[in-house]
Chain A
């Protein structure tokens, strides 16, 4: 994983609440056995028309949102399934951060493990961003703030361990593997209890 320290981009806005993982990537694309190349399916059933051409009404198809790395979406983004294909698809599509007023637990956990930053902002700040698509934001991961074009800053929370992993580009499996001794001790103790029972 590459370190994520700062993200600067114009925003693309999807002003809908409860955007679920079936919207982000429909189930029929989950038969893949790879994690790469899923960007073409991101928001598939919204993004394309029946004949396969781009749906001109879909916000992420507009010329002004092309290349945007920050998505601002409605409340409770990423609800539904545990499919990690959702953040894989968004990252491959070119997104680096998703901002909402609530982000579903499993989606958030999956995203952070892949270097897709998820940011939850207070309702009023979130509303302001929803209302101003295309503004240039700068996100500072170390200092945990989003900076608007007028220089104002909105702080956000970030789980310290996820932050450490993002900033240093480390993956969590390495950390877990280092705990081998503690895990073995737990297993020995547990199995003794089972035998005693």
Chain B
């Protein structure tokens, strides 16, 4: 038997029709996640053609992008940013009802950011193929699932046929050896990786993250890493499932139970890259070289260790980016005054992220003039955080404790920063205008974000923690 990579094993198991020179492969999809923004036109297409949803049992829907993060009023009404946003939500509700799809909507414990609820619900499992009309679908790769972001036309394809037409991507192994330094986490790791290979470095490829530093990560941290694969241009990101994965999944609502669980684990254990299997490309990184990392430009590849001087612009592009960010080459970012801090998004809104931020904010105050938004990834996470009293910590510090959703990651629901404001954000994109027209975004870990909130400026977390100790 030829040695196969993890990617090849999952791919091969889902080929309904293999690719030929003339036609792409027809790939079977095990789980289709949908949300309100990228689906209305797909359902319209189905309706126009008189097609049913082939496997409603393999579709899971939620509301996250356009939804307000302020609570409902006494009458149970939510205040949407625009009538269009509300209509989009109503449309998904109606479409799910019409086509028999399970919707984790208002009132459900599992409503939340689509890439947070899939794993939390146990719907995301090793070896699956998972798609969603959303580029951060790679998040689910943390479980050893092959997860692609797709467009709305493809959402329609999958609804109608449960299949996706795909050319087989190439593979890229990113080996991270050694151990992360204290105070350095998954977000720093992935920002460092994107800085190393560039925002187009993964184009046309599926990344497999491997090595001791990856194996040592918790599931939450693995999700943070895989989540940002698309920021390096990759089609997907994968990590081989192991005991950490199984322990995390066990007992979740959609995870197999009893004998089926044992059988599943037995199968999942085979989902590793075989000795001698070949990748198309490989990159080697030493975890010891990674420090607390932030972005300073307008794409996630423009990164720097906190405390280092920003590199001078190498071309007109970078000059433009620095001008937008109101930074200059050679400058330190530490000490830069911060206006908004956002802890949330499918990159960093899970319970461990909230704890990380709360540990900094406990007994401290958000600096005057700083607005801090803490937005849990799902209703369940919100509830768990409240059971631990994290909401009290945030409120006492003067931060806003919000309802679950995408919120300021994309700003579609009206949670935005003002022109010129500097935002330290735990999300995944610092594109111009992403968090509001003219808003300047610095991407960082929840730790760095929380430290920025209480100090009012970009601060090296290790210096801060030493001082605090």
Q: A79 and B233 in contact (CB under 8 A), knowing A33-B87, A110-B151, A172-B157? A: yes
Which of B23-31, B182-190, B327-335, B396-404 forms contacts with chain A? B23-31
Report the separation of the CA atoms of residues A20 and B432 in the bound assembly, to the nearest whole angstrom: 9
Which one of B16, B204, B411 contacts A179 once the chains associate, using CB atoms below 8 Å?
A: B16
CB contacts under 8 Å to B, within A10-54, are 16-18, 20, 22-23, 26-28, 30-35, 45
Report the separation of the CA atoms of residues A159 and B23 in the bound assembly, to the nearest whole angstrom: 9
CB contacts under 8 Å to B, within A56-112, are 74-76, 79-84, 102, 104-106, 109-110
Q: A176 and B85 in contact (CB under 8 A), knowing A22-B433, A105-B233, A197-B264? A: no
Q: Are A80 and B167 in contact (CB under 8 A)?
A: no
Q: Are B41 and A35 in contact (CB under 8 A)?
A: yes
CB contacts under 8 Å to B, within A156-175, are 159-161, 164, 171-173, 175
Which one of A18, A31, A76, A106 contacts B412 once the chains associate, using CB atoms below 8 Å?
A: A31
Does A114 sit at the interface, judged by CB under 8 A? yes
Does B133 sit at the interface, judged by CB under 8 A? yes
Query: What are the residues of chain B within 8 A of A109 when measuring CB–CB?
Result: 150-151, 154
Report the separation of the CA atoms of residues A84 and B42 in the bound assembly, to the nearest whole angstrom: 11
Report the separation of the CA atoms of residues A20 and B298 in the bound assembly, to the nearest whole angstrom: 10
Query: What are the residues of chain B within 8 A of A23 when measuring CB–CB?
Result: 431-433
Query: What are the residues of chain A within 8 A of B37 when measuring CB–CB?
Result: 30-31, 83
Query: What are the residues of chain A within 8 A of B21 when measuring CB–CB?
Result: 160
Q: Are B66 and A31 in contact (CB under 8 A)?
A: yes
Min CB–CB distance A46 → chain B (angstroms): 9
Does B149 sit at the interface, judged by CB under 8 A? yes
Which of A121-129, A136-144, A146-154, A182-190 forms contacts with chain B? A182-190
Closest to B80 in A: A31
Does B134 sit at the interface, judged by CB under 8 A? yes
CB contacts under 8 Å to A, within B51-102, are 51, 54, 65-66, 82, 84-85, 87-88, 91
Min CB–CB distance B85 → chain A (angstroms): 5
CB contacts under 8 Å to A, within B131-164, are 133-135, 149-154, 156-157, 160-163
Q: Are B150 and A82 in contact (CB under 8 A)?
A: yes
Min CB–CB distance A21 → chain B (angstroms): 8
Q: Mark B29-48, 1 if CB is under 8 A from A, else 0.
A: 00000000110110011000
Q: A106 and B23 in contact (CB under 8 A), knowing A31-B412, A179-B17? A: no
- Total residues of chain A contacting the partner, CB 8 A: 51
Q: Are A197 and B267 in contact (CB under 8 A)?
A: yes
Query: What are the residues of chain B within 8 A of A159 when measuring CB–CB?
Result: 24, 167
Query: What are the residues of chain B within 8 A of A175 when measuring CB–CB?
Result: 23, 165
Query: What are the residues of chain A within 8 A of B233 when measuring CB–CB?
Result: 76, 79, 104-105
Query: What are the residues of chain B within 8 A of A45 when measuring CB–CB?
Result: 432-433, 437
Q: Mark B414-449, 1 if CB is under 8 A from A, else 0.
A: 000000000000000101111001000000000000
Report the separation of the CA atoms of residues A83 and B134 in the bound assembly, to the nearest whole angstrom: 7
Does B350 sit at the interface, judged by CB under 8 A? no
Q: A76 and B16 in contact (CB under 8 A), knowing A27-B412, A106-B149? A: no
Q: Are A106 and B203 in contact (CB under 8 A)?
A: no
Min CB–CB distance B277 → chain A (angstroms): 23
Query: What are the residues of chain B within 8 A of A33 when measuring CB–CB?
Result: 40-41, 44, 84, 87-88, 91
Which one of B165, B167, B431 contacts A176 once the chains associate, using CB atoms below 8 Å?
A: B165
Q: Are B165 and A190 in contact (CB under 8 A)?
A: no
Query: What are the residues of chain B within 8 A of A102 when measuring CB–CB?
Result: 200, 203
Report the separation of the CA atoms of residues A105 and B429 in the bound assembly, to the nearest whole angstrom: 17
Q: Are B22 and A16 in contact (CB under 8 A)?
A: no
Among A75, A84, A102, A159, chain B packs the most CB atoms within 10 A around the CB of A84
Closest to A110 in B: B151
Closest to B37 in A: A30
Q: Are A177 and B161 in contact (CB under 8 A)?
A: yes
Min CB–CB distance B341 → chain A (angstroms): 20
Among B17, B23, B200, B267, chain A packs the most CB atoms within 10 A around the CB of B200
Min CB–CB distance A120 → chain B (angstroms): 10
Query: What are the residues of chain A within 8 A of B149 when measuring CB–CB?
Result: 81-82, 106
Does B250 sit at the interface, judged by CB under 8 A? no
Does B288 sit at the interface, judged by CB under 8 A? no
Q: Are B16 and A31 in contact (CB under 8 A)?
A: no
Report the separation of the CA atoms of residues A45 and B435 in the bound assembly, to the nearest whole angstrom: 13
Query: What are the residues of chain A within 8 A of B45 when measuring CB–CB?
Result: 173
Q: Are B437 and A84 in contact (CB under 8 A)?
A: no
Q: Are A28 and B411 in contact (CB under 8 A)?
A: yes
Closest to B317 in A: A17
Among A22, A45, A164, A171, chain B packs the most CB atoms within 10 A around the CB of A22
Min CB–CB distance B215 → chain A (angstroms): 26
Q: Are B135 and A161 in contact (CB under 8 A)?
A: no
Q: A79 and B200 in contact (CB under 8 A), knowing A20-B299, A20-B431, A173-B156? A: yes
Min CB–CB distance B194 → chain A (angstroms): 12
Query: What are the residues of chain B within 8 A of A80 when measuring CB–CB?
Result: 135, 230, 429, 431
Q: Are A105 and B235 in contact (CB under 8 A)?
A: yes
Report the separation of the CA atoms of residues A34 and B42 in the bound assembly, to the nearest whole angstrom: 10
Min CB–CB distance A123 → chain B (angstroms): 13
Q: Are A113 and B437 in contact (CB under 8 A)?
A: no
Report the separation of the CA atoms of residues A16 and B431 in the bound assembly, to the nearest whole angstrom: 13
Q: Are B433 and A110 in contact (CB under 8 A)?
A: no
Q: Are A81 and B160 in contact (CB under 8 A)?
A: no
Does B252 sit at the interface, judged by CB under 8 A? no
Does B199 sit at the interface, judged by CB under 8 A? yes
Q: A18 and B317 in contact (CB under 8 A), knowing A45-B437, A177-B160, A179-B161? A: yes
Report the separation of the CA atoms of residues A75 and B165 in the bound assembly, to the nearest whole angstrom: 26
Report the separation of the CA atoms of residues A177 and B51 in the bound assembly, to the nearest whole angstrom: 10
Q: A34 and B41 in contact (CB under 8 A), knowing A22-B434, A80-B135? A: yes
Q: Are A182 and B87 in contact (CB under 8 A)?
A: no
Q: A30 and B412 in contact (CB under 8 A), knowing A104-B233, A172-B165? A: yes
Q: Nearest 10 CB-CB pairs, A to B? A: A110-B151, A33-B40, A31-B84, A84-B151, A197-B263, A84-B152, A82-B149, A82-B135, A22-B431, A76-B200
